[in-house]
Structure formats: structure tokens, C-alpha cells
Amino acid sequence: MIRTDLIAPIADLLDKQAQAYPEKIAFEDRHRSVTYAALASEVTNLAGHYLEQGLTPGGSVGVWLPNSVDWVVSVLAAIRAGGVAVPIAFDAKNSEMAYRVEDAGITVMVTAPIMAEAVSSLAAGIRPDRVILNGVDETVGDRAADLAYLCATPAVSVVPVDDIDSVSMIVYTSGTTGQP
């Protein structure tokens, strides 16, 4: 039996779960957990901030994070904003990350502070326009680069209606037998 009720835009699915199970844990890692209501809110907030930071419909968001709640939120927010999520394995070498950034035309990158230097060292024509970090040093003061802040703060931009027929992810192969 095909569950046609599950064939819907990301926003609709998130809202449906948030209404049905607002306090139920949706995802959990060793650092934090998120309920369905919080997940829907964080995804919508971050999607709006992606748009404010230059993501255009069909534009690519690189997600170079370990498996985590932040990874899930970052990927779903890219799709929710009308962009294309490009997951990059956290253990990818810098050259593998660089290939994916260039090939997918990533304009916004979400990554861990430990990876930020590798991203900023990319050539000017390849480097993403915006880098968002999960775990920003509070002394830096750039709230627009702080993933936790962006997820918790509503954006001014209106998030477009999801287009269920548009490309939502680019997932690269591992490249064990050649270029990914």
C-alpha cells in the first residue's frame, strides 16, 4: 500500500508532525534533542535566514557536519527554503569538500568551527558566499554566522511554498572507483 499522505512538501510534513506530536522527540544526538514542534520552528527560521544570506531558489547549501540534530535541521532548512541540500561527509578530505563545493555551486555552507578554515581557504571563485557555524565563539559577535542563533530566531524573509517537484538534494558517491 502506498502512503500518499506522505507525499508532500517538507514544510507540510513538518507542520503535520508538529501539530500531531508537538512534545515528542523528533531527533536526538549526544549534545541535544529536538521535539517535532521545535524542529518545525528551527527549520523554518533557518530557511528564512538562508534566504536573507543570499540563497536563491535552486541554490545549493553545503552541510559539512557530523551526524547530528544540527545536520538534520540544516538539510531540511535548505530544502524548505527552495534550495538544494548538499551533504558532505564530515570525514571528507579538504579536496573532496572543495570538489563538491565547486561542482554543486554551493553558496551557503554550514559546518563545524574546526572545518571553517578549510572552507575559507578555497579560491575566491569557489568559496561559498556565506559560512554558518554550529558552535560559534560568543566573542566573535557575528550572530549571522551562528547556527544556534539562526535556528532560534525568526527571519524577516518569507519562506516560499515548497515545490515538491524541484531538486532537493545532491548526494555524491564516495568516489572509491573515481571522481564522485
Which helix (H) or strand (E) segment is 152 a member of? helix 147-152
Burial of residue 5 (number of CB atoms within 10 Å: 0-12, 13-18, 19+): exposed
pLDDT at residue number 140:
53
Instruction: Give the span between the Cα atoms of 77 and 75, in whole angstroms.
Output: 5
pLDDT at residue number 173:
84
Cα dihedral 128→129→134→140 (10° resolution): 130
pLDDT at residue number 1:
79
Q: Which three cell numbers stand for residue 59?
A: 541554490
**Phi/psi at 111 (5° precision):** -150, 175
DSSP secondary structure letter of residue 144:
G
Q: Which three cell numbers stand for residue 62?
A: 553545503
Instruction: Give the span between the Cα atoms of 7 and 115, in whole angstroms.
Output: 35
Q: What is the pTM of this model?
A: 0.91
Per-residue pLDDT of the chain (180 residues; tens, 9 = 90+): 788 878 888 889 999 999 999 999 999 999 999 999 999 999 999 999 999 999 998 999 999 999 999 999 999 999 999 999 999 999 999 999 999 999 999 999 999 999 999 999 999 889 999 999 987 655 555 677 899 999 999 999 877 777 888 899 999 987 777 777
pLDDT at residue number 18:
97
